C-alpha cells in the first residue's frame, strides 16, 4: 500500500461497459456481466485491503428493468450466484453487505436471498459493501420527500423545519457518509441517476476501460487522481 495516499472513506463506482466489452470480444452481453462479476470480487478485496470503509457499486438500476428479458434473467442469475458463492467470504473478511433500492421488484427467490445475505453479514465491521440494486436516484429523493410529507401530514413537523439534513436523513442509507470519490468506467461521462443527492460534492474520475478490464491497479490510479484534487466545497482553496 502506498503510504502517502489518502484513502477516501467512501468510494462509489458505476460499473459500466460489460455489454460493450463482450461485443468487442465476439461474446453475448450476459457473458460480459459474468466477467464483470469477477472484477467486482477483485475490487472489493482491494478496497478492503487499502482501508476503504464504504464501497457502493451501481449493480442494477431502476432503468435496467427496460432491458431485454433474457439479459435481465442472466443478471438475476448472476446476482444469485454471487450471493451464494461470496456471502460467507464477505462475512469471513468482515465485510457487511447492504442494499439500497427497491428490492420489492426483484424475483421473490432473489429478494429472499438478498435478505438472508444482509442478515448474515449485519455484524461485520471491517467494511461496508453497498449494492445499488433496482436503484434510481430520483426515486430515492421522491421516497425521502414522501417520508417528510407524511411527518407533516401527521403534524410531527412543520414545513419550516425541513432542512438539507432532514432530507439526507430520509434517504435509503442515511448513516452512510457521502462518497468522496465516484468512479465510472467505459469512458461515459454522466452519472445515470446514481446517488443524485449524495454526489453533490464528490470528485469524479472517468476511465476508458470497460468494467471487465478494470483492475486493482487502475483502482489505485483513480485514488491517486483523487489525491491530486483540491476539494473546496464552494470555498476558496
Residues in contact with 105: Cβ distance below 8 Å, sequence separation at least 6, in sequence order: 65, 134
- Quick one: how far is CA 109 from the chain centroid? 22
Q: Is 84 a residue of the active site?
A: no
Q: Is 64 a residue of the active site?
A: yes
CA distances to 63, 159, 187, 210 from 14, in Å = 14, 35, 11, 11
> What cell numbers appear for 97 in the block?
453487505
- Whether the Cβ atoms of residue 37 and residue 207 lie closer than 8 Å to each other: no
CA-based R_g, the chain, Å: 18
* Candidates 18, 64, 115, 221; catalytic one: 64
* Candidates 4, 16, 115, 227; catalytic one: 16
For residues 12-44, one letter each, b for 16 or more C-beta atoms within 10 angstroms of the residue's C-beta and e for the rest, the string is bbbbbbbbbbbeeeeeebbbbbbbbbebbeebb
Active site residues per annotation: 16, 64
Amino acid at each position: 500500500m502506498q503510504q502517502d495516499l489518502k484513502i477516501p472513506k467512501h468510494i462509489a463506482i458505476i460499473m459500466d461497459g460489460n455489454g460493450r466489452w463482450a461485443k468487442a470480444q465476439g461474446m453475448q452481453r450476459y457473458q460480459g456481466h459474468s466477467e464483470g462479476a469477477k472484477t467486482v470480487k477483485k475490487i472489493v478485496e482491494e478496497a478492503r485491503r487499502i482501508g476503504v470503509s464504504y464501497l457502493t457499486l451501481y449493480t442494477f438500476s431502476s432503468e435496467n428493468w427496460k432491458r431485454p428479458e433474457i439479459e435481465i434473467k442472466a443478471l438475476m442469475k448472476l446476482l444469485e450466484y454471487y450471493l451464494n458463492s461470496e456471502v460467507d467470504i464477505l462475512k469471513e473478511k468482515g465485510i457487511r453487505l447492504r442494499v439500497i433500492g427497491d428490492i420489492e421488484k426483484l424475483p421473490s427467490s432473489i429478494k429472499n436471498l438478498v435478505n438472508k445475505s444482509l442478515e448474515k453479514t449485519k455484524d461485520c465491521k471491517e467494511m461496508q459493501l453497498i449494492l445499488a440494486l433496482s436503484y434510481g436516484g430520483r426515486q430515492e429523493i421522491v421516497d425521502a420527500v414522501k417520508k417528510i410529507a407524511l411527518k407533516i401530514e401527521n403534524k410531527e413537523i412543520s414545513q419550516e423545519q425541513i432542512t438539507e439534513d432532514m432530507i439526507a436523513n430520509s434517504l435509503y442509507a442515511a448513516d452512510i457518509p457521502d462518497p468522496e470519490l465516484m468512479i465510472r468506467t467505459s469512458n461515459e461521462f454522466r452519472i445515470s441517476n446514481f446517488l443524485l443527492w449524495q454526489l453533490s460534492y464528490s470528485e469524479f474520475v472517468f476511465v476508458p476501460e470497460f468494467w471487465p478490464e478494470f483492475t486493482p491497479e487502475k483502482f489505485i490510479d483513480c485514488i491517486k487522481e483523487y489525491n491530486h484534487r483540491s476539494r473546496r466545497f464552494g470555498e476558496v482553496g
